[in-house]
A and B are shown apart, each in its own frame.
Chain A
């Protein structure tokens, strides 16, 4: 019996992998990069986002309004409770002014509430749920890089137009997956397609997707929409190849695929996937210049759209503080909404009243192995989706109280 008690302790202990590492405060503009640094989303955001944030602060001169800029970071382990504890501690005892990145929609929604109530800035680059600028919008929250609506419209709309008019979803069972499935269903239906079924898998902790793939296969849908992210997407796509979904005539729609996912899958497996992307490093001289600088500090790995978005969002935030002459959250975000965004990330981008940063999205296709000139040369750009078409129109019916 004693052995069993110990085993129960073992099971409990295993739930506490990893720990947060918050840091000390000072009289500064303090920005906290809060993201997954050990789990399925740590390659697409993780340490790379911290590096991007540091680069943004350095490129701004290290100071704003004469005060030093300090960047700190912590691992939220994709758990809303852990993230909330860190955020509260950052705000209450360490005077953090802004929390940035925050992938994992369930976590992002929790941080959105905390920053709203405690009047701090939340610049979200990593999370996807369009609810961040819908029913969960905040006067101090800005959603920077992409969202489920834009992904759905880009990938979903395009595939229906190409004849993929019946869909089956494999969805991560939490806020993000639900939002992505909902928004894609809307996009597919609007384009004249129909959804024949869906299956929701637990997150995190699912590694084998074969059961869900068999269900997708027997549904007979023309398109299998993969509404998950990070390592889940990698495993789903890999195993879909194994079970012959594509060979059987079905099309895979990776609704949210990051550059780091393609890198891990390899072009042989990922080739041909059509993906909606918020930013791609090899688009023009400006993007390449940023990417090279970033890669030099990130072990040669090129930035994902999330990491580039962290840099861009922080730069714009610092500009806004400079222009507003204060780092008070509402005033700073109001200024962010006034100023246009023109950098390597976005051209003529603007932050709307609901907090959505509207910028052009890219529809890209993963290259064939023989088309790629080397590591990280992964996408060909099929088309540019203008921001106003890519993002959900700002209407009161979507539930944001800031929209009149």
Chain B
């Protein structure tokens, strides 16, 4: 029942924030604070909900996986609300409904992961997507923001349509939208129609996960959005769709061999091309966007390999990416708020002007690159280990070699920040709340990079329950 409380808190909390926003003075951090409190409450509740085993109203699963999704999404929302303290008054082009959309985005993700039928799955996905459309476009006075958000919206709608069409075919083939019934039909040898539907839904989810070749919207959307909003874009939908994809495949489609193979190819394409494209970027937001594509490739490799270990590896990857990817965007936000543009050129000599920010950003970039001692390394290690366990050695070699490319472009950023002399002298004043957020995230990267056992076992337990092990 606590899962239901989580859903209700998110739904009505978001509504409360949206209604309260116009009443509050512009400069107050009260909304951000209230949002953080709300997410903290959700995080605590979801830890308690971890032990639940129930199905609510026949359509929402109350179990460890739903709780895990709620926990991670709450963490993502908490960090983004915190990161928003730096420029909150400037960002409020509208009346401040920004925060409500963070909450509803998280809610959509929870519903999507916990869904027991195709309808709720789709509704959850759309709710989470709509929230991110708004966040991407929130900086509406900038042309780039409007352009990126428009591309995101159009391609997002297209992918939703493909997904919905796939679901329709699954329904036509199996005669049901209930996961249990679909699974039973697949168990008896899936009809061709339903298999096509399955592949189409994979395409739709591939769009949301930003896998190659469905990635075209990512760089523009990230570049257009404010870095804080991009931090949410880069983490929350990934958490929701990554976990939701597993839940959908395991609960509805049974052991999906065709889909697993298709996902494997998408993964290979994503980390090879994502890393290659990232090499050529000079805009840091585009660089992070392409590197996100590569990271989603590694994540999808874990998902494609499957098994409780492969899924848990992907789950841990989400945790590491949420922390380090988020921190990278918050570092951009901190630099932009201090007047430094998010380009490699602009970041030259950042260490001399703002040593604390540069060092904390370096921790994020090193974790993304996969330097041992930080969570990003272990995330990759687990995915690679799962790949080795499955005996996919060619994919393994390809995956490890492409991480070298990752090192190259992340170190380019570090080289600019630490080795170059700045174009303008003078120390930057970095927003203290962002700096403390970055410090917390660096600490988390380090913590999970050295003591992963607790987190990993929890995640693995969630997937064991899902798989019925």
Report if A and B associate in a common complex. no
